[in-house]
Structure 1
Amino acid sequence: MTRRGLLVPALGAFLASVAAAFSPLAVLNAIGPRDPGVRRVARDVAYGEDPRQTFDVFAPTAPAGARRPVLVLFYGGGWDSGSKDVYGWAAQALAARGFVVALPDYRLVPEVHFPTFVEDAAAATAKVAEVAATCGGDPARLGVLGHSAGAHLAMMITLDARYLADIGQPDLIRAAAGLAGPYDFLPFDVPASINAFGQWPTPRQTQPLTYARADAPPLWLGHGTADVVVHDEDTILLDAKMRRLGGRSEAKLYPGLNHADLIATFAPLFRRKAPVLADVSAFFHRELG
């Protein structure tokens, strides 16, 4: 394992199992309990022609006096697994805290490689902004977040301005959060990173840390200190570089939490373990209004 390696071989199966029918996260989605006062307001909204280029939208059932802030949530899975059908509970948890939440699928390795899945994240975010008003959301108050590989996607489209500029939406993202994210994981020496990024001729272009900048949207970065899949050093390094350049960033390390905990604590069953959901929600309410 490298200093900031993404996966050790013994843990590769864990990330692959995220999308499996009986994975721990799938069980959370199946058995609940669920946050009340939330409903799915749109299903399988297309943002491209591929079957995986769709998203669902969740929103509070209570009427609001004004349109609500919008979040786009990207799940993890090592860039080669995952499904929005497994993560409804996480989107619902955020919606119960006053957000309109879109949950996209995106194309996966080996069918695609970098930068296609990042381009999908940008395209999904742009489409969410397009339809947000019909779901009670305010596209002018839009944030993105993700867990693990999903955090990589969220930070890439936030920090590397080319992705959204290329589709005519350079100022779309107003704030971004990453949970247990890989932001600086060179060299590619484990299957997940080799398969997803190894064909790209300029490795540094695949790393969110490369694109830290003073004028980026504000960031919130969370990590567990017991994470052996993606080391908390990735969060520490990105936060430090953002601050050094004059950008807005805050990082929070959660003692004893592992890689899966950072998203599992969104579920009511595990919410008392750490206030990750409360911290992320407070950040977005503060930054998006």
Structure 2
Amino acid sequence: MTKLTLAGVALLICGALVAAACSPVRAFDTVMPKDSQSRKVASDIAYGDGPRRKLDIYAPVNAGRKTLPVIVFIYGGSWANGTREGYHFAARALAAQGFVTIVPDYRLVPEVHFPGFVQDCAEAVRWTRAHARQYGADPDRIVLVGHSAGAYNAAMLALDPQFLGPDRAAIKGFAGLAGPYDFLPFNGDVVKNTFGQWPRPEETQPIHYAAASAPPMLLLHGQDDDTVWPKNSINLDRKLRLLGASSELKVYPDLGHVGIVTALAKPFRGNAPVLDDVTRFARRVTGS
């Protein structure tokens, strides 16, 4: 099939599922073929109190006795939507590349506002460090990967030491897909509702915490993204490099905001080498 045909089929099926009361992301995930080299090994693990503080764990099918590095994948949704059940396709893709992959839920607006959702993701990372060995993973080799609002959350964990404290030393790298890192002033209801109550707006911006001590960063963006402008990744990459940090920027032509994460799904990997780029980076920074 051509890319257009695959996309059209997926959209038609997703449309039918949405009409049946499924969310668009979960509908997409439902129809996507998954990588057979990986599987879910644990579900609904509580890392904190409440229904939104749970996570799922994925691993390669033939992991053997080798201790594997960890990817914590944080999904997006404008800090107000999303569930880990919609991202089996992404988790299975990453796990099939040789990583124990953890996907946490986190509390959303309006239940919390900044920094509550980042704090939840920090708790999920701390849980990962404490329990990684039970799942054949190395608690000191963690890569944070996120899309959109999830890339924001992960970037804040990687850049602002207050969230992870000493556990930040285990973060060997961050790979962000279409993340908002430099979006002042607050424009639009989404960011105003999420961040507008914080008294010092600059403290909500990942770029504010860029430093030479930052873990290695891979910043991926679609050139056609009109939801989170590519300048977010471009500006953060530029500042990190000026400060002497390790940063790599890649802007994919003809790719939009949703397309960069759906490129992790098997039928759409020909649209952009997102999975290959994230995998290459994660292997390099974890020495695997």
Normalised by the length of structure 2, the TM-score is 0.91
Partner of 1:230: 228
CA RMSD between the two structures? 1.2
Partner of 1:244: 242
Partner of 2:8: none
Q: Does 1:139 align with 2:139?
A: yes
- 1:161-240 paired onto structure 2 within 5 Å: 161-165=161-165, 168-240=166-238
Deviations 1:202-246 (A, max 9, x none): 000000000000011100000000000001010000000000000
Give, as a single letter, the amino acid of the residue that structure 2 aligns with 1:266: L
Q: Is the 8 A contact 1:164 1:172 kept in 2?
A: no
Partner of 2:43: 43
Partner of 1:112: 112
Partner of 2:62: 62
Task: Give, in whole Å, the separation in 2 of the partners of 1:53 and 1:89.
Answer: 21
Structure 1 SS opposite 2:190: helix
Deviations 1:237-267 (A, max 9, x none): 0000000000000010000100001100000
Task: Give, in whole Å, the separation in 1 of the partners of 2:82 and 2:273.
Answer: 24
Shift of 1:36: 0.7
Shift of 1:27: 2.6
Aligned-residue sequence identity (percent) comes to 47
Q: Tell me, which stretches of 5 or more residues in structure 2 are unaligned? A: 1-17
Partner of 1:21: 22
1:271 paired residue among 266, 269, 281: 269
Q: Is the 8 A contact 1:126 1:172 kept in 2?
A: no
Q: Tell me, which stretches of 5 or more residues in structure 1 are unaligned? A: 1-16
Q: Is the 8 A contact 1:184 1:234 kept in 2?
A: yes
Q: Does 1:91 align with 2:58?
A: no
Structure 1 SS opposite 2:70: strand
Give, as a single letter, the amino acid of the residue that structure 1 aligns with 2:43: R
* Larger RCO (CA within 8 A; separation ≥ 6): 1
Task: Give, in whole Å, the separation in 2 of the partners of 1:50 and 1:22.
Answer: 22
Give, as a single letter, the amino acid of the residue that structure 1 aligns with 2:28: L
Q: Is the 8 A contact 2:63 2:98 kept in 1?
A: no
Task: Give, in whole Å, the separation in 2 of the partners of 1:190 and 1:53.
Answer: 28
Task: Give, in whole Å, the separation in 2 of the partners of 1:99 and 1:63.
Answer: 9
Partner of 1:11: none
Give, as a single letter, the amino acid of the residue that structure 1 aligns with 2:137: G
Task: Give, in whole Å, the separation in 1 of the partners of 2:168 and 2:141.
Answer: 14
Shift of 1:274: 0.8
Task: Give, in whole Å, the separation in 2 of the partners of 1:265 and 1:169.
Answer: 31
Moved over 6 A (4+): none
Partner of 1:7: none
Structure 2 SS opposite 1:243: helix
Shift of 1:22: 4.0
Task: Give, in whole Å, the separation in 2 of the partners of 1:139 and 1:52.
Answer: 23
Give, as a single letter, the amino acid of the residue that structure 1 aligns with 2:73: L
Shift of 1:170: 3.5
Shift of 1:172: 2.4
Shift of 1:26: 1.9
Structure 2 SS opposite 1:252: strand
Deviations 1:139-189 (A, max 9, x none): 111110100000000100100011001xx5231211111000000111112
Normalised by the length of structure 1, the TM-score is 0.91
Task: Give, in whole Å, the separation in 1 of the partners of 2:63 and 2:124.
Answer: 26
Task: Give, in whole Å, the separation in 1 of the partners of 2:64 and 2:32.
Answer: 26
Task: Give, in whole Å, the separation in 2 of the partners of 1:181 and 1:250.
Answer: 14
Structure 2 SS opposite 1:192: helix
Q: Is the 8 A contact 2:39 2:61 kept in 1?
A: yes
Partner of 2:13: none
Task: Give, in whole Å, the separation in 2 of the partners of 1:103 and 1:210.
Answer: 26
